[in-house]
Structure 1
């Protein structure tokens, strides 16, 4: 499975922990994020992740910024992207089960690194339920 990851300066250390987890578990990772902690503009690092998901070049995306809001808003500008801002693994599970989220947005300033890694595990191990949720997901896209 191939994962694209992107982050701004607030998410650099989180990204490293998540990438370590992913690689040690056999995932292929495309790193679009900054590797520095100097202030950067998050859209520069989030759009490439969303494009990878939009173009089906990866299975999922993971994005990280301070609040997770700006990153998620940016990603959701892309067709076919369903970025979910999550701060607990329970919310992550619902985002996958009910919304077929294909990008996980993590708020680095409001979660711990171990929490973030657990959220990633949940995201990658939870499947979309389909059924009544399918028609709702279909209604998300602009027509």
Structure 2
């Protein structure tokens, strides 16, 4: 699977650990940066990574910042991106099962490396539920998205 990754200065170390793991599992990673821990603006990296997911250039995205919410706020502005902040494995599974999220957002200041890796493993391995109840709910969210968000070109 091709994964878009992005972070700010607070998430650089954790992003690099996750990236290394994903590559070791045979995934292709497109790293949108940042590359170091110098202060930077998160949107400069999350925005292009989100566009790559929305355009289908990457199948999923994993974004890391200080608490995760900044990445999610930016990513969820893009039509076709469904970003979830997850701070434990249960939430990661639910984010895939119930909402078919295509972007995982993590907070490097909130969770440690070991928990983050377990979250990534579960989120990557979990498929969306396909029974009628969950597909109907996901479709309603997609309809809201398409009604209010401009298509990505």
Q: TM-score, normalization: structure 2? A: 0.91
Q: Which residue of 2 aligns with 1:14?
A: 14
Q: In structure 1, list runs of 5 or more residues that go unmatched.
A: none
- Partner SS, residue 109 of structure 1: coil
Q: Supply the RMSD in Å over aligned alpha carbons.
A: 0.8
Partners of 1:81 and 1:102 within 8 A in 2: yes
Q: TM-score, normalization: structure 1? A: 0.97
Q: Which residue of 1 aligns with 2:96?
A: 96
Deviation at 1:47, TM superposition (A): 0.7
Runs of 4+ residues deviating >2 angstroms: none
Pair 1:63 & 2:81 matched: no
- Partner SS, residue 56 of structure 1: coil
Deviation at 1:135, TM superposition (A): 1.4
**Could you give the per-residue CA deviations for residues 107-135 of structure 1, whole angstroms, max 9, x where no partner exists?**
11100011111111111100000221111
- Partner SS, residue 30 of structure 1: strand
Partners of 1:98 and 1:130 within 8 A in 2: no
Q: Which residue of 2 aligns with 1:133?
A: 134
Q: Which residue of 2 aligns with 1:50?
A: 50
**Could you give the per-residue CA deviations for residues 59-93 of structure 1, whole angstroms, max 9, x where no partner exists?**
11000110111110000001111100010011000
- Partner SS, residue 127 of structure 2: coil
Question: Number of paired residues?
Answer: 143
CA distance in 2, matches of 1:57, 1:24: 21
CA distance in 1, matches of 2:137, 2:130: 9
Query: Larger Cα Rg: Structure 1 or Structure 2?
Result: 2
Q: In structure 2, list runs of 5 or more residues that go unmatched.
A: 148-153
- Partner SS, residue 23 of structure 1: helix
